[in-house]
Amino acid sequence: MDPALGPALTAIHRDPGRDWPVDELARLTSLSRSAFAARFAESVGEPPGAYVQRRRLDHAARLLRSTGEPVGRIAARVGYASEAAFSRAFSRAYGSSPRAWRGAAGSGSMDR
C-alpha cells in the first residue's frame, strides 16, 4: 500500500459516514486533488468516491447484521441523507434491500 495514502484511508475507515470530498482527502495526504485521485485509484483499484461508498455500505451491512437499529438510523449513520437513497445504493451493492438482507443475514443465507 502507498504510505502517502495512509492518512486518507485512516480517516475514511475511522468515519465512513462523513462526507469525504476528494479535495479534503487530498489535503490529508499533502497531494493535489488530481494527483491524489490518480494515485488513490492506481493504488486502491477504484476512485476515492467509490471506495468511500463501498466502506459505507460495508459498515451498514455490519450494523444490519449486528444490531436491531432501524434501517433509517443506519442510513443516517453511514452518511445517506435519506433511507430511500441508502436502500437503492445498498440494493445495487448487495442484491436486496437492507431489510431483506437483514432477514437473510439472520437466517444465515447472506450473499455477501
Number of H helices, E strands in the chain: 7, 0
Q: How far apart are CA 64 and CA 81, in angstroms?
A: 18
Cell output for 43? 493504488
Q: What is the pLDDT of residue 111?
A: 46
Each domain of the chain, given as residue ranges in start order, spans: 3-50, 53-107
CATH of domain 3-50: 1.10.10.60
Residue-by-residue DSSP string for 67-92 = ----HHHHHHHTT-S-HHHHHHHHHH
Mean pLDDT score of the chain, rounded to an integer? 92
Q: What is the pLDDT of residue 65?
A: 94
CATH of domain 53-107: 1.10.10.60
Q: Which residue, 29, 106, 31, is CA-closest to 67? A: 106
pTM of the shown model: 0.86
Indicate whether 1 pLDDT > 90.
Answer: no
**Residue 106 confidence class, pLDDT cut points 50, 70, 90:** low
Q: What is the pLDDT of residues 4-63, one digit of tens each?
A: 999 999 999 999 999 999 999 999 999 999 999 999 999 999 999 999 999 999 999 999
Give the list of residues 6+ apart from residue 59 with CB closer than 8 angstroms, or none.
Answer: 16, 17, 77, 78
